[in-house]
Chain A
Amino acid sequence: MTVIINKPGFNLRETLTSLKRKIGIKGAELMAAETVSDVYSVIGTNRNKIINGAMVIDQRNAGASKLISSNTNSYILDRWRIWVYGGDASSATLQQSTLSPEGFINSLQWTVTSADTSLSSGDYHLIAQYIEGFNVADFGWGATNAQPATLSFWVRSSVAGTYGCAASNQTQSRSYPFTYTINAANVWERKVIVIPGDITGTWQKTTSAGILLFWSLGTGSTYQGTSGIWDSSIKLTSVGCLNLMATANATFNITGVQLEVGSVATPFEHRPYGTELALCQRYFYSLLSDGSSNGRSLGITGVVSGGNTTRAGGFHPVPMRAIPTITIAGLRQWDGSAAPSITGISLSSCTKEALSIDVTGGGLTDGRAGTVLFQGNVSASQGYLKADAEL
Protein backbone atom coordinates (compact mmCIF):
# COMPACT_ATOMS: atom_id res chain seq x y z
CA MET A 1 0.00 0.00 0.00
CA THR A 2 1.27 3.41 -0.90
CA VAL A 3 0.72 6.27 1.56
CA ILE A 4 0.79 9.80 0.18
CA ILE A 5 1.32 12.66 2.62
CA ASN A 6 0.56 16.21 1.54
CA LYS A 7 2.27 19.01 3.53
CA PRO A 8 1.41 22.68 3.30
CA GLY A 9 3.70 24.89 1.25
CA PHE A 10 6.90 25.86 2.95
CA ASN A 11 8.90 28.95 2.03
CA LEU A 12 12.42 28.10 3.08
CA ARG A 13 13.84 31.53 2.14
CA GLU A 14 11.25 33.39 4.28
CA THR A 15 11.87 31.15 7.26
CA LEU A 16 15.62 31.59 7.10
CA THR A 17 15.20 35.37 6.82
CA SER A 18 13.07 35.47 9.94
CA LEU A 19 15.73 33.55 11.82
CA LYS A 20 18.25 36.29 10.98
CA ARG A 21 15.92 39.09 12.13
CA LYS A 22 17.56 41.31 14.77
CA ILE A 23 15.92 40.88 18.15
CA GLY A 24 18.25 42.93 20.36
CA ILE A 25 19.51 42.00 23.80
CA LYS A 26 16.03 41.71 25.30
CA GLY A 27 14.22 40.49 22.21
CA ALA A 28 14.16 36.83 23.19
CA GLU A 29 12.62 37.63 26.57
CA LEU A 30 10.01 39.89 25.00
CA MET A 31 9.07 37.28 22.41
CA ALA A 32 8.66 34.75 25.17
CA ALA A 33 6.42 37.04 27.23
CA GLU A 34 2.89 35.67 27.47
CA THR A 35 1.26 38.48 29.47
CA VAL A 36 1.45 42.25 29.69
CA SER A 37 3.01 41.86 33.14
CA ASP A 38 5.73 39.72 31.61
CA VAL A 39 6.47 42.47 29.09
CA TYR A 40 6.74 45.14 31.78
CA SER A 41 9.04 42.95 33.83
CA VAL A 42 11.41 42.97 30.87
CA ILE A 43 11.25 46.65 29.87
CA GLY A 44 11.26 47.90 33.47
CA THR A 45 9.67 50.93 35.14
CA ASN A 46 10.54 54.59 35.57
CA ARG A 47 11.41 54.74 31.90
CA ASN A 48 9.66 58.03 31.29
CA LYS A 49 11.87 61.08 31.82
CA ILE A 50 8.92 63.41 31.38
CA ILE A 51 7.12 64.41 34.58
CA ASN A 52 3.35 64.89 34.40
CA GLY A 53 3.31 63.53 30.87
CA ALA A 54 -0.37 62.62 31.25
CA MET A 55 -1.21 66.21 32.29
CA VAL A 56 -3.00 65.14 35.48
CA ILE A 57 -1.23 67.47 37.96
CA ASP A 58 -2.29 71.12 37.98
CA GLN A 59 -1.27 72.59 41.34
CA ARG A 60 -1.12 76.18 40.10
CA ASN A 61 -4.50 76.54 38.43
CA ALA A 62 -6.60 73.49 39.43
CA GLY A 63 -8.06 73.26 35.95
CA ALA A 64 -8.74 76.97 35.50
CA SER A 65 -7.80 78.55 32.18
CA LYS A 66 -5.02 81.07 31.84
CA LEU A 67 -4.83 83.70 29.13
CA ILE A 68 -1.32 84.22 27.85
CA SER A 69 -0.09 86.92 25.54
CA SER A 70 3.22 88.14 24.20
CA ASN A 71 6.34 87.86 26.35
CA THR A 72 5.02 85.16 28.63
CA ASN A 73 7.17 82.67 30.49
CA SER A 74 5.07 80.76 32.96
CA TYR A 75 3.88 77.36 34.02
CA ILE A 76 0.31 76.21 33.45
CA LEU A 77 0.21 72.50 34.32
CA ASP A 78 2.95 71.21 36.57
CA ARG A 79 6.33 71.00 34.82
CA TRP A 80 4.84 72.34 31.56
CA ARG A 81 6.25 75.71 30.70
CA ILE A 82 4.69 78.14 28.25
CA TRP A 83 7.09 80.40 26.41
CA VAL A 84 5.73 83.15 24.19
CA TYR A 85 7.75 85.99 22.80
CA GLY A 86 6.55 88.66 20.38
CA GLY A 87 3.30 87.94 18.66
CA ASP A 88 2.17 91.54 19.22
CA ALA A 89 -1.53 91.39 20.03
CA SER A 90 -1.87 87.63 19.70
CA SER A 91 -2.95 85.58 22.69
CA ALA A 92 -3.91 82.06 23.63
CA THR A 93 -5.77 80.30 26.40
CA LEU A 94 -4.05 77.41 28.18
CA GLN A 95 -5.90 74.90 30.31
CA GLN A 96 -5.95 71.37 31.62
CA SER A 97 -8.59 69.63 29.49
CA THR A 98 -10.59 66.45 29.86
CA LEU A 99 -10.33 65.91 26.12
CA SER A 100 -8.06 62.90 25.88
CA PRO A 101 -7.32 59.74 23.94
CA GLU A 102 -8.28 56.31 25.25
CA GLY A 103 -6.34 55.45 28.38
CA PHE A 104 -5.93 59.05 29.52
CA ILE A 105 -8.18 61.51 31.36
CA ASN A 106 -6.44 64.82 30.69
CA SER A 107 -4.53 66.81 28.14
CA LEU A 108 -2.97 70.25 27.93
CA GLN A 109 -5.05 72.40 25.62
CA TRP A 110 -3.85 75.48 23.74
CA THR A 111 -6.57 77.59 22.15
CA VAL A 112 -5.70 80.53 19.91
CA THR A 113 -7.63 83.51 21.26
CA SER A 114 -6.24 86.27 19.04
CA ALA A 115 -4.49 85.24 15.85
CA ASP A 116 -1.04 86.26 14.62
CA THR A 117 -0.94 85.74 10.84
CA SER A 118 2.46 87.33 10.36
CA LEU A 119 5.20 86.11 12.67
CA SER A 120 8.25 88.29 13.14
CA SER A 121 11.58 86.54 12.79
CA GLY A 122 12.22 86.38 16.54
CA ASP A 123 8.73 85.37 17.65
CA TYR A 124 7.97 82.03 19.26
CA HIS A 125 5.00 80.24 20.83
CA LEU A 126 6.13 77.17 22.73
CA ILE A 127 5.08 74.42 25.07
CA ALA A 128 8.19 73.18 26.83
CA GLN A 129 9.44 70.82 29.47
CA TYR A 130 12.88 71.26 31.02
CA ILE A 131 14.17 67.92 32.27
CA GLU A 132 16.56 67.88 35.22
CA GLY A 133 20.06 66.68 34.38
CA PHE A 134 19.99 63.88 36.95
CA ASN A 135 17.03 62.31 35.12
CA VAL A 136 18.68 62.14 31.69
CA ALA A 137 22.30 61.57 32.70
CA ASP A 138 21.94 57.97 31.50
CA PHE A 139 21.50 59.25 27.93
CA GLY A 140 25.22 60.05 27.97
CA TRP A 141 24.80 63.04 25.68
CA GLY A 142 27.92 65.08 25.07
CA ALA A 143 30.14 61.98 24.88
CA THR A 144 30.92 59.28 22.37
CA ASN A 145 28.61 56.78 24.02
CA ALA A 146 25.56 59.05 23.61
CA GLN A 147 22.38 56.98 23.45
CA PRO A 148 19.38 57.75 21.24
CA ALA A 149 16.21 58.92 22.93
CA THR A 150 12.66 58.22 21.85
CA LEU A 151 9.92 60.80 22.27
CA SER A 152 6.31 59.67 22.00
CA PHE A 153 3.11 61.60 22.61
CA TRP A 154 -0.56 61.86 21.73
CA VAL A 155 -1.61 64.99 19.89
CA ARG A 156 -4.80 66.44 18.44
CA SER A 157 -5.30 69.71 16.60
CA SER A 158 -8.04 71.48 14.69
CA VAL A 159 -5.44 72.29 12.03
CA ALA A 160 -3.77 69.36 10.25
CA GLY A 161 -0.26 69.75 8.89
CA THR A 162 3.40 69.63 9.78
CA TYR A 163 4.41 70.81 13.25
CA GLY A 164 7.85 71.44 14.68
CA CYS A 165 9.64 70.46 17.86
CA ALA A 166 13.17 70.67 19.16
CA ALA A 167 15.46 69.38 21.88
CA SER A 168 18.28 71.50 23.23
CA ASN A 169 20.82 71.73 26.02
CA GLN A 170 20.65 74.23 28.88
CA THR A 171 23.02 76.75 27.35
CA GLN A 172 21.07 76.46 24.09
CA SER A 173 24.29 75.91 22.17
CA ARG A 174 23.09 72.54 20.84
CA SER A 175 19.64 71.84 19.45
CA TYR A 176 17.90 69.22 17.37
CA PRO A 177 14.84 70.44 15.44
CA PHE A 178 12.42 67.87 14.09
CA THR A 179 8.89 67.60 12.73
CA TYR A 180 5.78 65.49 13.06
CA THR A 181 2.62 65.52 10.98
CA ILE A 182 -0.96 65.72 12.16
CA ASN A 183 -2.75 63.88 9.39
CA ALA A 184 -6.34 64.71 10.20
CA ALA A 185 -7.95 67.55 12.09
CA ASN A 186 -9.58 66.86 15.46
CA VAL A 187 -8.39 63.26 15.70
CA TRP A 188 -6.02 61.94 18.35
CA GLU A 189 -2.80 60.63 16.80
CA ARG A 190 0.25 59.12 18.49
CA LYS A 191 3.62 60.36 17.32
CA VAL A 192 7.00 58.74 17.80
CA ILE A 193 10.32 60.47 17.11
CA VAL A 194 13.77 59.01 17.67
CA ILE A 195 16.38 61.63 18.59
CA PRO A 196 19.96 60.54 17.92
CA GLY A 197 22.26 61.06 20.90
CA ASP A 198 24.42 64.17 20.68
CA ILE A 199 28.08 63.28 21.01
CA THR A 200 29.20 66.90 21.39
CA GLY A 201 28.17 69.92 23.42
CA THR A 202 27.77 70.35 27.17
CA TRP A 203 24.79 68.56 28.70
CA GLN A 204 24.04 69.10 32.38
CA LYS A 205 23.81 65.92 34.43
CA THR A 206 22.85 67.10 37.91
CA THR A 207 20.32 69.64 39.24
CA SER A 208 20.41 72.02 36.27
CA ALA A 209 18.33 71.55 33.14
CA GLY A 210 19.62 68.50 31.27
CA ILE A 211 17.40 68.50 28.18
CA LEU A 212 14.93 71.15 27.04
CA LEU A 213 12.06 69.94 24.86
CA PHE A 214 9.98 72.38 22.82
CA TRP A 215 6.71 71.98 20.91
CA SER A 216 6.30 74.95 18.61
CA LEU A 217 2.91 76.37 17.68
CA GLY A 218 4.38 79.20 15.65
CA THR A 219 8.01 80.30 15.55
CA GLY A 220 9.78 82.90 13.42
CA SER A 221 12.66 82.30 11.05
CA THR A 222 15.42 83.09 13.57
CA TYR A 223 14.68 79.90 15.49
CA GLN A 224 13.89 77.58 12.56
CA GLY A 225 16.45 74.90 11.74
CA THR A 226 16.90 71.95 9.44
CA SER A 227 14.84 69.01 10.61
CA GLY A 228 16.76 65.97 11.82
CA ILE A 229 20.17 67.58 12.16
CA TRP A 230 21.97 68.69 15.31
CA ASP A 231 22.62 72.45 15.25
CA SER A 232 25.23 74.41 17.21
CA SER A 233 22.79 77.21 18.04
CA ILE A 234 19.30 77.35 19.47
CA LYS A 235 16.56 76.19 17.11
CA LEU A 236 13.04 75.78 18.43
CA THR A 237 11.38 74.26 15.38
CA SER A 238 12.03 73.21 11.82
CA VAL A 239 11.77 75.14 8.57
CA GLY A 240 8.40 74.85 6.86
CA CYS A 241 6.19 74.12 9.84
CA LEU A 242 2.76 75.62 10.16
CA ASN A 243 1.86 78.53 12.40
CA LEU A 244 -1.13 77.48 14.52
CA MET A 245 -1.31 81.03 15.89
CA ALA A 246 -2.44 82.21 12.45
CA THR A 247 -5.83 80.56 12.95
CA ALA A 248 -8.22 82.15 15.42
CA ASN A 249 -9.92 79.63 17.72
CA ALA A 250 -7.60 76.84 16.60
CA THR A 251 -7.00 74.21 19.26
CA PHE A 252 -4.04 71.98 20.06
CA ASN A 253 -4.09 69.22 22.67
CA ILE A 254 -1.21 67.08 23.86
CA THR A 255 -0.87 64.30 26.41
CA GLY A 256 0.82 60.96 27.02
CA VAL A 257 4.24 62.49 26.56
CA GLN A 258 7.11 60.09 27.15
CA LEU A 259 10.86 60.43 26.62
CA GLU A 260 12.94 57.34 27.15
CA VAL A 261 16.41 56.10 26.41
CA GLY A 262 16.82 53.93 23.33
CA SER A 263 15.19 53.86 19.94
CA VAL A 264 11.96 52.05 20.81
CA ALA A 265 8.79 53.74 22.03
CA THR A 266 7.33 51.61 24.80
CA PRO A 267 3.74 52.06 26.04
CA PHE A 268 3.13 55.18 28.12
CA GLU A 269 4.12 54.61 31.72
CA HIS A 270 1.19 55.49 33.97
CA ARG A 271 2.76 56.18 37.36
CA PRO A 272 0.56 56.33 40.48
CA TYR A 273 -0.98 59.77 41.02
CA GLY A 274 0.80 60.19 44.35
CA THR A 275 4.13 59.38 42.75
CA GLU A 276 3.55 61.84 39.93
CA LEU A 277 2.50 64.56 42.40
CA ALA A 278 5.62 64.00 44.50
CA LEU A 279 7.78 64.22 41.37
CA CYS A 280 6.14 67.56 40.57
CA GLN A 281 6.60 68.83 44.12
CA ARG A 282 10.36 68.60 43.76
CA TYR A 283 9.92 71.69 41.57
CA PHE A 284 6.78 73.37 42.90
CA TYR A 285 4.16 72.98 45.59
CA SER A 286 1.39 75.12 46.94
CA LEU A 287 -0.44 75.12 50.27
CA LEU A 288 -3.89 76.59 49.89
CA SER A 289 -6.63 77.93 52.12
CA ASP A 290 -9.52 75.57 52.72
CA GLY A 291 -11.99 78.43 52.37
CA SER A 292 -13.21 78.33 55.96
CA SER A 293 -14.04 81.60 57.69
CA ASN A 294 -11.51 81.27 60.50
CA GLY A 295 -8.65 80.08 58.40
CA ARG A 296 -6.75 76.93 59.15
CA SER A 297 -3.34 76.17 60.49
CA LEU A 298 -0.67 75.98 57.89
CA GLY A 299 1.05 73.46 60.05
CA ILE A 300 4.11 75.63 60.39
CA THR A 301 4.69 76.95 63.85
CA GLY A 302 7.45 78.91 65.49
CA VAL A 303 8.14 81.68 67.95
CA VAL A 304 7.46 85.40 67.99
CA SER A 305 10.57 87.50 68.27
CA GLY A 306 12.37 90.55 67.01
CA GLY A 307 9.40 92.86 67.16
CA ASN A 308 6.31 91.15 65.78
CA THR A 309 8.12 88.64 63.61
CA THR A 310 7.24 84.96 63.69
CA ARG A 311 10.00 82.61 62.69
CA ALA A 312 8.25 79.42 61.59
CA GLY A 313 9.15 76.36 59.64
CA GLY A 314 8.38 72.85 58.53
CA PHE A 315 9.48 70.29 56.00
CA HIS A 316 8.73 70.53 52.29
CA PRO A 317 6.50 67.66 51.03
CA VAL A 318 9.60 66.28 49.29
CA PRO A 319 13.18 67.53 49.04
CA MET A 320 13.24 70.20 46.37
CA ARG A 321 15.61 70.68 43.45
CA ALA A 322 16.91 73.99 44.84
CA ILE A 323 16.06 76.28 47.74
CA PRO A 324 12.66 77.52 46.59
CA THR A 325 11.35 80.99 45.93
CA ILE A 326 8.46 81.61 48.35
CA THR A 327 5.34 83.57 47.45
CA ILE A 328 2.51 84.16 49.89
CA ALA A 329 -0.87 85.87 49.98
CA GLY A 330 -3.78 85.99 52.41
CA LEU A 331 -1.88 84.65 55.42
CA ARG A 332 -2.08 85.65 59.07
CA GLN A 333 0.07 84.90 62.08
CA TRP A 334 -1.40 84.03 65.46
CA ASP A 335 0.19 84.05 68.91
CA GLY A 336 -2.83 82.76 70.82
CA SER A 337 -4.31 86.20 71.12
CA ALA A 338 -3.69 88.54 68.25
CA ALA A 339 -3.93 87.43 64.61
CA PRO A 340 -2.58 90.22 62.42
CA SER A 341 -2.18 89.98 58.67
CA ILE A 342 1.29 89.24 57.40
CA THR A 343 2.85 92.25 55.77
CA GLY A 344 6.31 90.93 54.99
CA ILE A 345 8.23 87.73 54.50
CA SER A 346 11.85 86.67 54.36
CA LEU A 347 13.65 83.37 54.36
CA SER A 348 15.65 82.25 57.34
CA SER A 349 17.95 79.32 56.72
CA CYS A 350 15.47 77.81 54.25
CA THR A 351 16.94 74.73 52.60
CA LYS A 352 15.99 72.24 49.88
CA GLU A 353 14.54 70.01 52.59
CA ALA A 354 12.87 72.45 54.96
CA LEU A 355 10.94 75.69 54.92
CA SER A 356 12.01 78.37 57.39
CA ILE A 357 10.40 81.75 57.05
CA ASP A 358 10.15 85.00 58.99
CA VAL A 359 6.75 86.63 58.64
CA THR A 360 6.05 90.09 60.01
CA GLY A 361 2.95 91.92 61.12
CA GLY A 362 1.82 94.07 64.02
CA GLY A 363 0.36 93.33 67.44
CA LEU A 364 2.16 90.16 68.55
CA THR A 365 3.96 89.52 71.82
CA ASP A 366 7.59 88.48 71.76
CA GLY A 367 8.37 85.11 73.30
CA ARG A 368 5.01 83.53 72.51
CA ALA A 369 4.57 80.63 70.16
CA GLY A 370 3.39 81.78 66.75
CA THR A 371 1.50 79.98 64.03
CA VAL A 372 1.01 80.91 60.41
CA LEU A 373 -2.65 80.68 59.36
CA PHE A 374 -4.36 80.80 56.04
CA GLN A 375 -6.85 83.60 55.63
CA GLY A 376 -9.43 81.13 54.50
CA ASN A 377 -12.41 83.30 53.75
CA VAL A 378 -10.79 85.42 51.10
CA SER A 379 -12.89 84.40 48.15
CA ALA A 380 -11.24 86.73 45.68
CA SER A 381 -7.70 85.69 46.49
CA GLN A 382 -7.44 82.38 48.28
CA GLY A 383 -4.67 82.40 50.84
CA TYR A 384 -1.63 80.47 49.78
CA LEU A 385 2.02 79.73 50.21
CA LYS A 386 3.85 78.64 47.06
CA ALA A 387 7.34 77.25 46.85
CA ASP A 388 9.00 77.31 43.44
CA ALA A 389 12.26 75.58 42.53
CA GLU A 390 11.56 75.14 38.82
CA LEU A 391 14.26 74.86 36.22
Chain B
Amino acid sequence: MYKIVFDKINEKVADCIIRTTDGACIPSDPANTDYQLYLKWLDGYEKIGGEWVKTSDANTPLPAD
Protein backbone atom coordinates (compact mmCIF):
# COMPACT_ATOMS: atom_id res chain seq x y z
CA MET B 1 0.00 0.00 0.00
CA TYR B 2 1.14 3.53 -0.73
CA LYS B 3 0.27 6.99 0.56
CA ILE B 4 0.39 10.43 -1.01
CA VAL B 5 2.58 13.03 0.75
CA PHE B 6 1.77 16.72 1.17
CA ASP B 7 4.58 19.29 0.84
CA LYS B 8 3.83 21.61 3.77
CA ILE B 9 6.37 24.22 2.73
CA ASN B 10 5.19 24.64 -0.83
CA GLU B 11 1.61 23.64 0.01
CA LYS B 12 1.20 21.11 -2.76
CA VAL B 13 1.35 17.38 -3.26
CA ALA B 14 4.99 16.27 -2.92
CA ASP B 15 6.88 14.70 -5.79
CA CYS B 16 7.18 11.38 -3.98
CA ILE B 17 5.07 8.61 -2.46
CA ILE B 18 5.24 6.78 0.88
CA ARG B 19 5.33 2.97 0.96
CA THR B 20 3.29 2.26 4.08
CA THR B 21 4.86 -1.14 4.84
CA ASP B 22 8.20 0.42 5.83
CA GLY B 23 7.66 4.18 5.57
CA ALA B 24 10.05 4.48 2.64
CA CYS B 25 9.84 7.71 0.67
CA ILE B 26 9.92 6.92 -3.03
CA PRO B 27 10.74 9.65 -5.56
CA SER B 28 8.81 9.90 -8.80
CA ASP B 29 11.86 8.95 -10.84
CA PRO B 30 11.17 6.50 -13.70
CA ALA B 31 14.62 4.97 -13.13
CA ASN B 32 13.88 4.19 -9.47
CA THR B 33 12.82 0.53 -9.25
CA ASP B 34 10.58 1.18 -6.23
CA TYR B 35 8.73 3.79 -8.28
CA GLN B 36 8.45 1.33 -11.16
CA LEU B 37 6.80 -1.14 -8.76
CA TYR B 38 4.45 1.62 -7.58
CA LEU B 39 3.37 2.37 -11.17
CA LYS B 40 2.69 -1.33 -11.71
CA TRP B 41 0.68 -1.39 -8.48
CA LEU B 42 -1.35 1.62 -9.65
CA ASP B 43 -2.25 -0.38 -12.76
CA GLY B 44 -3.49 -3.26 -10.61
CA TYR B 45 -0.50 -5.60 -10.92
CA GLU B 46 1.29 -7.68 -8.31
CA LYS B 47 4.49 -9.64 -8.77
CA ILE B 48 3.73 -13.30 -8.10
CA GLY B 49 6.72 -15.52 -8.62
CA GLY B 50 8.64 -14.18 -11.55
CA GLU B 51 5.54 -12.89 -13.29
CA TRP B 52 3.45 -9.74 -13.14
CA VAL B 53 -0.17 -10.72 -12.51
CA LYS B 54 -3.09 -8.32 -12.85
CA THR B 55 -5.05 -8.75 -9.65
CA SER B 56 -7.37 -5.74 -9.88
CA ASP B 57 -8.45 -3.08 -12.36
CA ALA B 58 -6.43 -0.41 -10.59
CA ASN B 59 -5.21 0.59 -7.15
CA THR B 60 -5.44 3.95 -5.43
CA PRO B 61 -2.94 5.30 -2.87
CA LEU B 62 -4.11 6.53 0.52
CA PRO B 63 -4.67 10.31 0.73
CA ALA B 64 -2.13 12.59 2.40
CA ASP B 65 -2.52 13.53 6.05
Q: A residues near B, CB below 8 A?
A: 85-86, 122, 124, 172, 207-208, 223, 234, 305-307, 309, 311, 321-329, 344-350, 357-358, 360, 388-391
Contact = CB atoms under 8 A, between A and B. Distances in A.
B33 to A, nearest CB: 6
Contacts of A223: 50
B43 interface: no
A327 B8 contact: no
Nearest to A350: B27
B42 interface: no
Contacts of B29: 322-323
A173 to B, nearest CB: 12
A218 to B, nearest CB: 14
Contacts of A309: 8-9
B23 interface: yes
A307 B27 contact: no
B64 to A, nearest CB: 9
Interface in B8-63: 8-11, 14-16, 18-19, 22-27, 29, 31-35, 49-50
B25 A326 contact: yes
Contacts of B65: 344
B38 to A, nearest CB: 10
B14 A86 contact: no
Contact of B33 (A86, A305, A390): A390
Given A234-B50, A325-B32, A348 B23 contact: no
B25 A345 contact: yes
The 5 closest A-B pairs by CB, nearest first: A306-B9, A322-B31, A323-B29, A306-B8, A323-B27
A325 B8 contact: no
| Max count, chain B CB within 10 A of own CB: residue among A208, A347, A348, A391 | A347
Give the residue among A122, A323, A360 with the most B Cβ atoms within 10 A.
A323
Contacts of A350: 16, 27
A249 B13 CA distance: 50
29 contacts: A86-B49, A124-B50, A172-B50, A207-B31, A234-B50, A309-B9, A322-B29, A322-B32, A322-B33, A323-B31, A324-B27, A325-B24, A325-B34, A325-B35, A326-B24, A327-B22, A328-B23, A344-B5, A344-B65, A346-B14, A347-B27, A348-B14, A348-B15, A357-B25, A358-B7, A360-B8, A388-B34, A390-B33, A391-B33
B5 A346 contact: yes
A311 B31 contact: no
A171 to B, nearest CB: 12
Given A208-B31, A350-B16, 15 more contacts: A124-B50, A234-B50, A306-B11, A311-B9, A321-B31, A322-B32, A323-B27, A325-B24, A325-B32, A326-B25, A327-B22, A327-B23, A344-B65, A345-B23, A347-B14
Contacts of B5: 344, 346
B32 A389 contact: yes
Contacts of A321: 31
A390 B35 CA distance: 12
A171 B34 CA distance: 16
Contacts of A348: 7, 9-10, 14-15
A358 B24 contact: no
Nearest to B4: A346
Contacts of B8: 306-307, 309, 358, 360
Contacts of A357: 25
The residue among A325, A358, A389 with the most chain B CB atoms within 10 A of its own CB is: A325
A181 B49 CA distance: 27
B9 A305 contact: yes
